Structure 1
Amino acid sequence: MPLIRVLVVEDEPLAAEAHAVYVGRLAGFELVGTAGTGQDAFRQVVAAASAGTPIDLVLMDMNLPDSHGLDVSRRIRAAGLATDIIAITAVRDLENVRGAIAAGVVQYLIKPFTYSTFATKLSSYRDFRAELNGQASVVTQSGVDHAFASLRAPTDIARPKGVANSTLDSLVAYLQAHAAPVSASELMEPLGLSRVTARRYLEYLADKGLVLRAPRYGTPGRPENEYRWKSAG
């Protein structure tokens, strides 16, 4: 499956850099640029489409120095460009959320957020694209239902006590970098975790739908599960 081409639109340089780094850490995505204004964002989307290398996804800040992110989103839609948009904003009022839905925004990510939350949203979007791309030219009802269910991947599983963002991010990065499934005991040495702690984090990610969990057969001793980062493939 081709990489998902991403444009980060954010006027705060540190936030833009952080989002760019986050995109680079996610399998299946490719950062193609950043924009600090709505005008620059629209220009880049149009230019990429004209060059035959369209931008698939825009991570759109809502409060830009020259315009509102929703206005930029509407301009993209009005131009007939098939670019998806994820809103990234600290704005929480219902009017903006409704406006984002009306403008065709596929996800709404509220600042501040951790890398794991960012990864959850984009992974859900990646699965959504994979489901749609796997459909025939004429889709079925179940196919559409499966695709939209990907966008609603569970993200509100209660976090177990003692689960720290830094450790969670390290574990997610490790799983994304290793295609082969791993057990909790195999994470002890590379991440410096106890088996019990590693298993708690892995089970949390599995319950959130980010990690595939399966029993491991053919090993001595008591049975254990193995875990693999859920990819779009």
Structure 2
Amino acid sequence: MSRRGTISVLVVDDDVRVAQNHRELVDSMSGFSVVAAAHTAGEALAAVRKHGPDLVLLDLFLPDASGLDVLNELRGPQAEAQGGLVDVLVITALRNVEHVRTALHSGAVYYLLKPFPLSVLREQLERYAAAQRKMTQMGTATQDDVDGLLGLLRPRGRSQPLPKGLTSATADLVAETLREAGTDLSAAEVSARIGVARVTARRYLEHHCAEGRAQLQMRYGSAGRPEHRYRWAA
């Protein structure tokens, strides 16, 4: 991360409208900042040299070269030797398995297929931010640490991510409530805001903490057990 913990992002897409939509989404997220938008491979490489972003949102269909060429340039041996490796999240409509294999082999952190709702991109960016925070806090990694990082960056299929008894609609509602609060909330406060039982709200909050999207904070009063408070991590 750069600039006091802010993740700097370069948006690359040949479609100006799509690039603008992605730019507005990223800029709306706490902890992220767009340094530039590019619409060709040449513009993308020039922007990386100029701004040195932490993360590139890279379309593979560009008018002057394949996005895979850009990916190789950013993740190849020369970039590594110069200490300039950039993380790349591929965003594309190209569904050919060879493109997927090449992108992942070249070091893309994720391969996101168009079309998708912007909430999916938001979630993936939040996962990326959570993984970066975990790595910053680590000393020597354990296997559990590595598995957790991979789970954040490349989550399981969306048809089976939630524990039994939880629904994606309520999970999204709890996430949005935390995100919009801008401060920490208790399970009771989340319960009152969205109209579910406190114990139900707490289950969803604990799930988001386990996924790295939320953080548990303990508030200690003058007496009694500490209060569990939850804050949106991204």
TM-score normalised to the size of structure 1? 0.72
Counterpart for residue 193 of structure 1: 194
* Displacement of 1:65: 2.2
Taking the aligned partners of 2:16 and 2:174, their CA distance within structure 1 comes to: 25
Larger mean CA deviation between 157-166 and 119-128 belongs to: 157-166
Taking the aligned partners of 2:112 and 2:214, their CA distance within structure 1 comes to: 21
Counterpart for residue 69 of structure 2: 71
* Displacement of 1:15: 1.9
Which SS does the other structure have where 2:169 is aligned? coil
Contact residue 128 and residue 147 of structure 1 kept, 8 A: no
* Displacement of 1:132: 3.7
Q: Confirm or deny that 1:99 pairs with 2:97.
A: no
Counterpart for residue 149 of structure 2: 150
Structure 1 pair 119–47 and aligned structure 2 pair: CA distance change class (3 A): same
Taking the aligned partners of 2:16 and 2:172, their CA distance within structure 1 comes to: 23
For 1:125-136, list aligned pairs within 5 A.
125-134=128-137
Counterpart for residue 48 of structure 2: 45
* Displacement of 1:7: 0.3
Contact residue 202 and residue 227 of structure 1 kept, 8 A: yes
Give RMSD over aligned pairs.
3.7
Taking the aligned partners of 1:25 and 1:168, their CA distance within structure 2 comes to: 19
Instruction: Report Cα offsets for 1:85-108 as digits up to 9, x if no partner.
Output: 111123333211110122211222
Taking the aligned partners of 1:67 and 1:59, their CA distance within structure 2 comes to: 16
Q: Confirm or deny that 1:25 pairs with 2:23.
A: no
Which SS does the other structure have where 2:194 is aligned? coil
Contact residue 130 and residue 213 of structure 2 kept, 8 A: no
* Displacement of 1:73: 0.8
Instruction: Report Cα offsets for 1:168-205 as digits up to 9, x if no partner.
Output: 67425315x22xx213442467xx63134982764663
% identical aligned pairs: 32
Aligned length: 217
Counterpart for residue 57 of structure 2: 59
* Displacement of 1:31: 1.0
Letter in 2 for 1:59: L
Taking the aligned partners of 2:108 and 2:168, their CA distance within structure 1 comes to: 34
Letter in 1 for 2:100: V
Taking the aligned partners of 1:173 and 1:33, their CA distance within structure 2 comes to: 25
Instruction: Report Cα offsets for 1:124-161 as digits up to 9, x if no partner.
Output: 3223333444456xxx4x25862563242245414955
* Displacement of 1:38: 1.3
Taking the aligned partners of 1:135 and 1:161, their CA distance within structure 2 comes to: 32
TM-score normalised to the size of structure 2? 0.72
Larger mean CA deviation between 81-90 and 195-204 belongs to: 195-204
Unaligned runs of 5+ in 2: none
Letter in 2 for 1:150: L
Q: Confirm or deny that 1:212 pairs with 2:199.
A: no
Counterpart for residue 84 of structure 1: 87
Letter in 2 for 1:193: I
Which SS does the other structure have where 1:152 is aligned? helix
Aligned mate of 2:169, from 152, 163, 177: 163
Which SS does the other structure have where 1:47 is aligned? helix
* Displacement of 1:6: 0.7
